[in-house]
Amino acid sequence: MDTHENRAEEVLNIYNESENKIKSDAIISRALADKITTEAIDEKVDAQLNSIKVQIHEINPNFKDDKKYYEIAKQTIQDSMKRYEDNLLTLSKPFDDQIEKLILEKAEIETSIAGDFLAENYLKENHENSEEENKKKVSKESKERIKEIDKKIKDLNDQKDEAIRKAMEEGNGAIQVNVKKIKVFKKIKRFFMVKLNSYKVIVKDVINPFNERIDKFNVS
C-alpha cells in the first residue's frame, strides 16, 4: 500500500471514529433528556400519592379495615394517578420534541465539520486562500451554533423539569397537605364517622379535589 493509500485509510478511519462519537453523543443527550423527564415525573407522582395517603390517614387511620370501600377508593385513586401521570407526560412531550430536533441539528453540524475535515485532508489537495478563509469562517460559525444548541438543550431540560414539578399544584406550587383542613378533620372526624362513612369523606375531601386539579390541567 503506497503513501497515498495509507493517508486515505488514516483519514477515513478518523472520520469514522468522529461519526461514531457524534452518534454516541446524540444517543447520550437523548437518554439524558428522557432520564430528566422520568425522574421528575416519578418524584412528582410519588409525592402526590404520599400526600393522598397522609390525607386519608388523617380522616381515618383504620380505613383499610373497611375492605369493600378501601378497594373501591384504591382503584379510584389508581385511575386518577394514571391520568395525573399522563398529564405530566403530555406536558413534557413538547420539550422533549424540541430537544430531539436540536440534538439532530447538532449531529448534522458535527457531521458536516467532520466531512470538511475529510475534504481538507484527503479529497482536495489544493485550496485557494479565499476558500480556506471561507471554510474557517463556516467552521467558526458551526462551532458557535453548537454552543448555542447545547445551551438551548440545557435550558429546555431545566424548563421541563420545573414545569413538571409545578404542574397541577395549588398555592405556592409545592405538593403539601392542607394543614388547616387536617386540623378540622381531627376535630370533626368522630362526627363524620357516626353520620357518614369514611369513604364518602375521602371522596369529597381528597379524591374529588384531586380529580378537579387533573381536569383543570386537561382544559388548559
**Per-residue pLDDT averaged across 94-108, rounded?**
95
Residue 194: inside a domain, yes or no?
A: yes
| pLDDT of 131 above 70 | no
| pLDDT of 126 above 70 | no
Residue 63: inside a domain, yes or no?
A: yes
Higher pLDDT: 51 or 12? It is 51
Residue 108: inside a domain, yes or no?
A: yes
| pLDDT of 31 above 60 | yes
Residue 1: inside a domain, yes or no?
A: no
| pLDDT of 219 above 60 | no
Number of structural domains the chain divides into: 1
**pLDDT for 201-212, tens place per residue?**
889 889 999 999
Residue 66: inside a domain, yes or no?
A: yes
**pLDDT for 184-194, tens place per residue?**
555 555 555 53
Domain holding 121, by residue range, is 7-216
- pLDDT in the model for residue 65: 77
- pLDDT in the model for residue 194: 39
* Biggest alpha carbon–alpha carbon distance for the chain: 97
Average pLDDT, the chain: 81
Residue 151: inside a domain, yes or no?
A: yes
**Per-residue pLDDT averaged across 119-125, rounded?**
60
Residue 111: inside a domain, yes or no?
A: yes
**Per-residue pLDDT averaged across 161-180, rounded?**
66
Residue 2: inside a domain, yes or no?
A: no
Q: Is the pTM of this model over 0.95?
A: no
- pLDDT in the model for residue 174: 39
- pLDDT in the model for residue 18: 82
| pLDDT of 32 above 80 | yes
pLDDT range class, residue 115, cuts 50, 70, 90: confident
